[in-house]
């Protein structure tokens, strides 16, 4: 992932990255020792305490039927995993995560790429538009969710007023098992396309302009240049964008809560909101941990496979 | 925002299509935001018949009531405290670790770095129940630190990687010369590395700040007392209380996202660079 | 950087200051009441107690109902937990007792004959293995509240709705007349579970519930519960609810009823008054426009028509609470305060003599119903414990949303019951 993007800070000095770390003996030895003792443990401690151990504990707790009070004592082996897999809502959540990924790849990514190609050029308003499209990304998901629960509101929202304009009774998109997930997918595109667009713009700006120029001089048309030169050069960024879309989908939670809380009838849960609704808010530590372990396995398996298959060269 | 026509070739249909396309997307992005901000100026009755137009009467009362309420400022203050704790701790802890990984050679260095990198692979949500139990056992439930410390821990992987990459670009000759002059590693870190690394520290700080400022799940699980709630929790409570009084909720949303938008307009280049760079280089 | 450091220091100092602020005894009282008129009386009671007990401060905290249920398990684990919390008794209370997060207040309650002033059945709901962990405050009944104007508009005589088929008929008539028959807060799920569970009370009566608890007759997957789901589905198939009902939270739904937009609501008796606070105009429907009929009977059902579904609500004292918390609670749940709350029509009292305060025909009727009931079934989502109860809510919403059939719904509850906890 070595692509250094345009804004990357530079000291204007010779690249010294290849230089081996210092291993000077003598006067510096003491201070080197001190650094190791003082500088490393805080990070390792925090990381171990709050990231690594909890994952291990999740695996341990998932073998118990435990409500979180006292110590876990009721060992039930792998039953929690069976319970999770027998829950219809879990499979719905998994399907919804799949839907999010599909929409990210089939709609959001092409949209972001198209916009990036348009806005990477210089013209009046281009920078302003870039910023506008990026804006949703920095808004909190909670706020975004609330804004759209207004937009979708069957009595007050945009959707309602459009329907009323045509004289029909407005649908409550978020209240129907058929449309709730669709409504969330639209919000996801609204919120995240700008981020992916920015990734592509950053990549486009660091492309070797000479290649494009040369091709144009050789008589290639605009679309030929695009198809045969620009897009192939963007492959690493596309793979990156796909990676983020998938990891992002697996984490999605904040957006779902204000919109539907995973409802109606569990039709719009993601894996994390399923974990929250069925594990955390019911304090079923064992069951929730089992969901956590499943999610963890999916994330890690995906990350390793993806890196091995698609990002080998980086 | 529809002002996207270019100066050259005004009759090229491709340019026209492009302008229309961009305008459509701009409307798609803008309308919900504008409707939110304007909605706060309307009465509930007007909102129902005119959700997206300009208000007929600009009603400042909704905004004023919120701005003069203790609640609003308390939420922002809590968010600020938590985010500041998270940013400060992340910068200190991560830069120290990154410095060690960048400049000190020791056995197991790369192993420990890979260990930290594991944190990139999965979201905090996977282990949130055990995390809750751990924070509870540490007696940090319902405290700012109970939220900030896990946030720091989960941001460490990316932060250390970003900082280490930058620190390693600091010329080796500088460090060597300093060490020969009897300067210690720690002094070098304090007086050379950190001052030279302001841009990357700003980047890491921005990423951590935005993530912490917007975070919902961790505060939701760790905090119980509403006096400690950061704004994403507070706004959900507010929405629960006023369920359908959308004019109040919209005003409240507008005011809570306003700091983010102002900050974004003031420092857009740094924020965009920070967030995308964090993603790309992580 | 320097600014950040200063802010960090300031934050730490402020945190420390917070910890040192408590000098006198403060009793923290967490409630979920949305009706300001009732909260006002509570506050007056709290101030009166403070006046007669110098050095004690009663601090009221509020959480919205759904947020409260979701947060309660974590709240109870915090060292800073409130001392007095709201409870619906039942299996949730049992789980809390087993978890050891509640204070045993048996001795305090028994002393001076205080416990004798409380209706025994209500106190029993807050007793586990002979130990008392909280005090009941009110009883409630689930039944249909209706809007007399809208019923008249649809030419429905609510007094004649006695059986489930009568109700289905009324729904059809109302729909034909262009009136929204029923409003429900489907997003919160539990308002929907009232249908399914009250049908179970009618179809199977107490024997069926007791048998299911013991796992007999197929447990919760048995005939009674499948039948209840099927009857509920008959209603759902008529599309009796307001547009978008699965997206409505309960307060919205009650407000919708208060706004006069739907003819009926399957309500807890206290909604009679909360609809006023939740209506858009804060006035809601006046007494002369409101009617009530008990949940219709199911022909051939084993339940008695007098059986009731409803709540026994009260307050619990959490582990480690100061003794002033219990003392205040006894002060709060006394004949005078109960009579005062009853005269405001907020509660059906549990303290003997408190019912003398009841002055509305409606509340007297509910009190009368409850006193005649031989089988008062506590809300399923509370009585079956925290996780099974939630599954009952889940499947009720699924039946209402058409995504699960009654047989699978009953099986899902039985499966959750077998998983335990």
Give the whole-angstrom CA distance, residue C229 versus residue C207. 18
Whether C129 and C420 have beta carbons less than 8 Å apart is answered as no
For residue A118, the Cα-to-chain-centroid distance in whole angstroms is 24
Among the partner residues C4, C5, C251, nearest to B243 by beta-carbon distance: C251
pLDDT at C9 (0 to 100): 54
The verdict on B262 touching C (C-beta cutoff 8 Å) is: no
pLDDT tier at C174 (50, 70, 90 boundaries)? very high
Task: Give Cα separations from A279 to A296, C114, C226, C352 (angstroms).
Answer: 15, 40, 27, 41
Decide: helix, strand or coil at residue C207: helix
Q: Check residues B7 and B275 and name the one with the higher pLDDT.
A: B275
pLDDT at B10 (0 to 100): 55
Quick one: average pLDDT of B185-194?
88
Among the partner residues C100, C401, C415, nearest to A264 by beta-carbon distance: C401
pLDDT at B7 (0 to 100): 52
pLDDT at B282 (0 to 100): 42
Quick one: average pLDDT of A90-113?
96
Asked if B25 and A28 come within 8 Å (Cβ–Cβ), the reply is no
For A205-257, write each residue's pLDDT tens digit.
888 778 888 888 888 888 888 888 888 888 889 998 998 899 899 999 999 99
Give the whole-angstrom CA distance, residue C276 versus residue C269. 13
**Which chain B residues are within 8 Å of A125, Cβ to Cβ?**
1, 3-4
pLDDT at C353 (0 to 100): 82
The verdict on C397 touching A (C-beta cutoff 8 Å) is: yes
Q: Considering only CA atoms, which of A44, A140, A98 is closest in space to residue B119?
A: A44
The verdict on B53 touching A (C-beta cutoff 8 Å) is: no
Asked if C11 and B85 come within 8 Å (Cβ–Cβ), the reply is yes
Give B64's contacts (C-beta < 8 A, 6+ positions apart). none
Give C124's contacts (C-beta < 8 A, 6+ positions apart). none
Asked if A265 and C400 come within 8 Å (Cβ–Cβ), the reply is yes
User: Which helix (H) or strand (E) element contains residue C85?
Assistant: strand C84-87
Q: Does the pLDDT at position A147 exceed 50? A: yes
pLDDT at B136 (0 to 100): 87
Asked if A65 and C387 come within 8 Å (Cβ–Cβ), the reply is no
Decide: helix, strand or coil at residue C139: strand
- Buried b / exposed e across A97-133, counting CB within 10 Å, b at 16+? bebbbebbeeebbebbbbbbbbbbeebebbeebbbbb
Whether C383 and C206 have beta carbons less than 8 Å apart is answered as no
**Which chain C residues are within 8 Å of A151, Cβ to Cβ?**
none
DSSP B108: T
Give the whole-angstrom CA distance, residue C136 versus residue C113. 16
pLDDT tier at B64 (50, 70, 90 boundaries)? very high
Q: Does the pLDDT at position B243 exceed 90? A: no
Q: Does the pLDDT at position B142 exceed 80? A: yes
ipTM: 0.88
**Which chain C residues are within 8 Å of B243, Cβ to Cβ?**
249, 251-252, 255
Give the other-Cβ count within 10 Å of B11's Cβ: 6
Residue C53 backbone phi and psi in degrees, to 5: -130, 80
Quick one: average pLDDT of A164-191?
88
Q: Does the pLDDT at position A29 exceed 80? A: no
Quick one: average pLDDT of C86-109?
88
Asked if B136 and C255 come within 8 Å (Cβ–Cβ), the reply is no
With vertex at residue A127, the alpha carbon angle to CA A123 and CA A130, rounded to the nearest 5 degrees, is: 120
Q: Most C CBs within 10 Å: which of A61, A64, A66, A67, as the mutation test of the C interface?
A: A67
The verdict on C171 touching A (C-beta cutoff 8 Å) is: no
Long-range contacts of B103-107 (CB under 8 A, 24+ apart): B103/A21, B103/A22, B103/B167, B103/B168, B103/B175, B103/B185, B104/A21, B104/A22, B104/A32, B104/A35, B104/A36, B104/B185, B105/A20, B105/A21, B105/A22, B105/A23, B106/A36
**Which chain C residues are within 8 Å of A65, Cβ to Cβ?**
419-421
Strand segments, DSSP code E, in C187-322 are 264-268, 290-294, 308-310, 312-317
Whether C357 and C374 have beta carbons less than 8 Å apart is answered as no
Q: What is the pTM (predicted TM-score) of this model?
A: 0.83
Nearest chain A residue (CA) to C248 = A175
DSSP C57: E
Give B97's contacts (C-beta < 8 A, 6+ positions apart). A39, A40, A42, A43, A44, B116, B156, B160
The verdict on B127 touching A (C-beta cutoff 8 Å) is: yes
Decide: helix, strand or coil at residue C125: helix
The verdict on B241 touching C (C-beta cutoff 8 Å) is: yes
According to the per-residue pLDDT averaged within each range, which of A59-68, A179-188, B217-226, C86-95 is highest? A179-188
Q: Most B CBs within 10 Å: which of A5, A46, A157, as the mutation test of the B interface?
A: A46
Beta bridge partners of C315: C86, C135
Among the partner residues B142, B144, B205, nearest to C80 by beta-carbon distance: B142
Nearest CA distance, A266 vs chain C (angstrom): 8
Asked if C74 and A283 come within 8 Å (Cβ–Cβ), the reply is yes
Quick one: average pLDDT of C188-215?
92
Asked if B243 and C78 come within 8 Å (Cβ–Cβ), the reply is no
Whether C126 and C361 have beta carbons less than 8 Å apart is answered as no
Nearest CA distance, C101 vs chain A (angstrom): 8
pLDDT at C5 (0 to 100): 55
């Amino acid at each position: 992932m070595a692509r250094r993007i345009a804004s990357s800070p530079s000291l204007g000095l010779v690249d010294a990255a290849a230089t081996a770390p210092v291993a000077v003996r003598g006067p510096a030895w003491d201070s080197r020792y001190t650094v190791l003792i003082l500088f490393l443990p805080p990070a390792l401690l925090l990381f171990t305490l709050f990231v690594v151990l909890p994952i291990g504990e999740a695996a341990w707790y998932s073998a118990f039927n435990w409500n979180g009070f006292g110590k876990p004592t009721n060992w039930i082996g792998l039953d929690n995993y069976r319970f999770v897999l027998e829950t219809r809502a879990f499979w719905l959540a998994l399907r919804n995560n799949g839907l999010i990924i599909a929409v990210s790849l089939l709609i959001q990514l092409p949209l972001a790429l198209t916009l990036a190609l348009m806005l990477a050029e210089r013209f009046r308003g281009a920078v302003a538009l870039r910023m506008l499209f990026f804006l949703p990304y920095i808004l909190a998901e909670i706020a975004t969710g609330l804004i759209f629960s207004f937009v979708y509101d069957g009595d007050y929202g945009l959707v309602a007023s459009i329907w009323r304009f045509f004289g029909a009774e407005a649908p409550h998109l978020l209240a129907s098992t058929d449309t709730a997930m669709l409504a969330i997918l639209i919000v996801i595109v609204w919120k995240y396309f700008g981020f992916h667009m920015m990734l592509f713009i950053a990549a486009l700006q660091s492309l070797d302009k000479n290649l494009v120029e040369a091709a144009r001089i050789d008589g290639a048309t605009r679309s030929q240049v695009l198809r045969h030169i620009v897009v192939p050069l963007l492959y690493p960024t596309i793979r990156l964008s796909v990676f983020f879309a998938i990891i992002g989908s697996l984490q999605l939670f904040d957006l779902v809560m204000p919109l539907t809380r995973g409802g109606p009838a569990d039709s719009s849960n993601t894996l994390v909101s399923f974990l929250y609704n069925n594990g955390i808010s019911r304090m079923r530590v064992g069951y929730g941990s089992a969901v956590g372990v499943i999610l963890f396995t999916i994330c890690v398996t995906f990350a390793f496979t993806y890196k091995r298959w698609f990002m080998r060269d980086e | 925002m529809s002002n996207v026509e270019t100066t050259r070739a005004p009759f090229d249909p491709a340019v026209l299509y492009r302008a229309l396309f961009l305008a459509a997307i701009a409307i798609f992005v803008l309308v919900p935001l504008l409707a939110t901000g304007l909605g706060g100026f309307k009465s509930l009755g007007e909102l129902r018949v005119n959700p997206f137009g300009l208000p007929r009467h600009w009603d400042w009362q909704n905004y004023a009531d919120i701005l003069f309420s203790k609640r609003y400022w308390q939420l922002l203050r809590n968010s600020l405290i938590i985010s500041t704790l998270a940013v400060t701790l992340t910068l200190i802890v991560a830069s120290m670790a990154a410095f060690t990984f960048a400049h000190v050679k020791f056995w197991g260095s790369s192993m420990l770095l890979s260990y930290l990198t594991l944190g990139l692979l999965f979201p905090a949500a996977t282990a949130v129940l055990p995390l809750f139990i751990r924070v509870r056992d540490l007696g940090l439930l319902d405290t700012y630190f109970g939220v900030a410390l896990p946030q720091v821990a989960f941001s460490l992987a990316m932060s250390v990687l970003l900082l280490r990459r930058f620190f390693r670009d600091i010329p080796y000759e500088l460090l060597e010369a300093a060490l020969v002059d009897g300067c210690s590693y720690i002094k070098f870190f304090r007086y050379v590395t950190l001052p030279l690394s302001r841009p990357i520290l700003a980047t890491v700080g921005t990423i951590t700040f935005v993530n912490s400022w917007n975070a919902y799940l961790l505060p939701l699980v760790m905090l119980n007392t509403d006096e400690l709630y950061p704004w994403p929790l507070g706004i959900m409570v507010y929405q629960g209380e006023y369920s359908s009084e959308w004019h109040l909720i919209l005003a409240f949303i507008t005011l809570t996202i306003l700091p983010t938008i102002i900050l974004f307009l003031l420092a857009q280049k740094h924020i965009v660079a920070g967030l995308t760079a964090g993603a790309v280089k992580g | 950087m320097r600014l950040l450091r200063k802010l960090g220091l300031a934050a730490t100092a402020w945190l420390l200051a917070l910890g040192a602020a408590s000098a006198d005894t403060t009793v923290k009282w967490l409630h979920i009441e949305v009706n300001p008129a009732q909260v006002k009386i509570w506050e007056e009671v709290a101030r009166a107690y403070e006046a007669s007990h110098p050095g004690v401060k009663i601090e009221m905290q509020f959480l919205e109902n759904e947020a409260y249920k979701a947060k309660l398990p974590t709240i109870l684990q915090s060292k800073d937990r409130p001392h007095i919390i709201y409870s619906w008794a039942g299996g949730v209370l049992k789980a809390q007792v087993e978890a050891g997060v509640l204070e045993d207040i048996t001795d305090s309650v028994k002393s001076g004959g205080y416990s004798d002033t409380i209706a025994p059945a209500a106190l029993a709901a807050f007793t586990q293995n002979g130990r008392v962990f909280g005090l009941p405050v009110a009883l409630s009944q689930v039944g249909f509240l209706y809007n007399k104007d809208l019923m008249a508009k649809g030419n429905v005589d609510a007094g004649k709705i006695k059986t489930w088929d009568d109700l289905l008929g009324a729904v059809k008539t109302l729909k034909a007349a262009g009136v929204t028959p029923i409003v429900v807060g489907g997003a919160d799920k539990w308002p929907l579970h009232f249908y399914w569970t009250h049908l179970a009370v009618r179809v199977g009566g107490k024997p069926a519930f007791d048998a299911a608890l013991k796992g007999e007759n197929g447990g919760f997957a048995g005939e009674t519960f499948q039948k209840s789901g099927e009857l509920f589905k008959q209603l759902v198939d008529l599309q009796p609810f307001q547009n978008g009902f699965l997206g409505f939270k309960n307060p919205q739904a009650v407000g919708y009823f208060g706004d006069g937009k739907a003819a009926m609501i399957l309500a807890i008796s206290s909604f009679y008054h909360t609809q006023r606070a939740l209506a858009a105009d804060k006035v809601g429907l006046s007494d002369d426009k409101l009617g009530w009929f008990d949940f219709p009977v199911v022909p051939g059902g084993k339940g008695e028509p007098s059986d009731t579904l409803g709540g026994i609500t009260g307050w619990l004292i959490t582990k480690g609470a100061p003794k002033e918390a219990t003392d205040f609670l006894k002060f709060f749940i006394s004949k005078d305060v109960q009579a005062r709350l009853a005269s405001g029509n907020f509660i059906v009292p549990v303290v003997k003599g408190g019912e003398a305060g009841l002055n509305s025909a409606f509340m007297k009727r509910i009190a009368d119903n409850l006193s005649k009931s031989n089988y008062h079934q506590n809300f399923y989502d509370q009585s079956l414990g925290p996780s099974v109860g939630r599954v009952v809510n889940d499947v009720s919403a699924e039946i209402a949303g058409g995504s699960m059939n009654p047989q699978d719904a009953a099986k899902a509850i039985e499966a959750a019951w077998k998983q335990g906890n």
